[in-house]
Chain A
């Protein structure tokens, strides 16, 4: 069992709410800055959180983002109830997207979301059940190697 988190925060994300999309990742960034997390680490988390948040907004009904700060790492967990991902390997391919025409017109759905999250994470774990939902867990080390 891992040690208890030094800091734990939760944010609800509403599917289809493009107006408020990005708020949770913004709050996470502010929180991490105030507790003195290195700015490069904050940037990576903010990007991953934003992309993950957008995925929930675009595809799921609702979701929850959890941030846990540990002495050595920050763990971000995003759970959603939504359609799920049938083929994770395919979803991870840069450029692959199931976004609708409308979403693409809004500038989303370039198929770079998941690859971009992975690029910024030290540990990346994606599990999904079709028709149920998706769980994304990422860890970013505080003395990040991935900078």
Chain B
């Protein structure tokens, strides 16, 4: 297994982990087991959704992000906040005030990702008009959705929109521009995503569709929140009510943001991990071919529901909805310029998203079939209470682990204490 902290952005703090089942139960890919009363992440199965981070009652699941000291190596530092940031400081704080404060915190420049969101909105329309590839086209914005598709829906990799998401496009554009303007070497510029997302770090350190990300790091909204809030409070009330982005770009912070600006009306937006899995199952069965574009965001309500935010997501969503109305639906970026860039493949993936299905029960097909039959037999033996005491999230997964040689039937407390026989007897008596 590769070094976990490099390929994933979530780790367990053993000192804080008490060995409860919270994270293991919530994990959508069943990547967590309890071993010696500590949560263990199977990094081959983890898709960095941050579900564990969200539910851990003990703060034992830690996001791996960029440290302030990591920024020292850059001569010129740029903060590139996700539009989520505009939802975090209350309804009366305007985007440009937040951008100004971010710069004061210690960056040389601040760039609004919302602008790149508008650009991608236009690029998506171009792509949908020009390509007749299998529908629906699935958004590439959410790094967890991309990883989920690689793992659970490998045959849908070819449905993924082959264009880089706004954050990458913004950074790509900006690095060249700043290097020219400020006359600095591109590698001396540090572009940092200010993010709500637990998976951003891994999408930067291990991008799926290019050699090297255009971003240099990610800092959680939570980390800059206190200082930004203090500064916003102290600031003279200059009302910077103007923005250089429209409601279209800002709207990308919530579910439906991508399709709001699309002229292709037959598009659908989904958020939340279970909802995403359900709709992808439908796509995988060929049921939704009449849909043009499918936006899936793993966090509930979209990026405002990200695990690294501070504001309650319903409040945050309402603030974004208000800004969408306030700043209007007229895109501010030059559509012809975007189309030109699109045709020069400025937005395109270097290579397509590669399927990475979970390993079968055995590499040898006959052995895999034997194990599958054994697994079904085991499932019938197990109590199906899904209690988690064995260290696996549910009985089915324990059966899977047993046939893979990673657990034993006696790990089940019902089996080892013969409780099941007793329970069955009582059940029969009741009848």
Tell me the A residues contacting B by CB distance below 8 Å. Answer: 6-7, 22, 25-26, 29, 31, 33-36, 39-40, 42-43, 46-47, 50-51, 69, 71, 116
Contact = CB atoms under 8 A, between A and B. Distances in A.
Interface string B2-42: 00000000000000000000000000000000000000000
Given A36-B363, A39-B154, A7 B285 contact: no
Most buried by B among A6, A33, A36, A71: A36
Contacts of A34: 360-361, 368, 372, 375
Contacts of A69: 369
Nearest to A53: B285
B372 A7 contact: yes
B366 A6 contact: yes
24 contacts: A6-B369, A7-B369, A7-B372, A25-B285, A26-B285, A29-B285, A31-B372, A33-B357, A34-B360, A34-B361, A34-B372, A34-B375, A35-B365, A35-B369, A36-B359, A36-B361, A36-B362, A36-B365, A36-B368, A39-B355, A39-B357, A43-B155, A51-B286, A71-B365
Contacts of B361: 34-36
Across the A-B interface, give the 9 residue pairs with the lowest CB-CB distance, nearest first.
A36-B360, A43-B155, A39-B154, A47-B286, A35-B368, A50-B285, A39-B155, A7-B369, A34-B361
B378 to A, nearest CB: 13
A50 B357 CA distance: 21
B281 interface: yes
Residue picked from B154, B155, B375, most chain A C-beta under 10 Å:
B155
A22 B355 CA distance: 24
B372 A35 contact: yes
B377 interface: no
A109 to B, nearest CB: 13
A25 B282 CA distance: 11
Contacts of A31: 372
Contacts, number: 54
Interface residues on B, range: 20 to 34
A50 B281 contact: no
A70 B409 CA distance: 30
B394 to A, nearest CB: 15
Contacts of B365: 6, 35-36, 71
Nearest to A35: B368
Contacts of B155: 39-40, 42-43
A7 B286 CA distance: 25
- Most A-side CB within 10 Å, residue of B285, B287, B355, B372: B285
Nearest to B356: A39
A69 B365 CA distance: 10
Contact of A50 (B286, B362, B372): B286
B78 to A, nearest CB: 39
Contacts of A50: 285-287
B233 to A, nearest CB: 53
B284 interface: yes
Nearest to B282: A22
A42 B156 CA distance: 11
A104 B362 CA distance: 43
Interface string B140-183: 00000000000000110000000000000000000000000000
Contacts of A51: 286
B238 to A, nearest CB: 54
Contact of A46 (B284, B359, B368): B284
B360 A35 contact: yes
Contacts of B285: 22, 25-26, 29, 46-47, 50
Contacts of A25: 285
A100 to B, nearest CB: 19
Given A29-B285, A33-B358, A35-B368, 17 more contacts: A7-B369, A7-B372, A22-B285, A22-B287, A31-B372, A33-B357, A33-B360, A34-B360, A35-B365, A35-B369, A36-B359, A36-B361, A36-B363, A39-B155, A47-B285, A47-B286, A50-B286
A130 B314 CA distance: 57
A42 B362 CA distance: 17
Contacts of A33: 357-358, 360
A134 B287 CA distance: 23
Between A29, A39, A42, A51, the greatest number of chain B beta carbons within 10 A of the residue's beta carbon is seen for A39
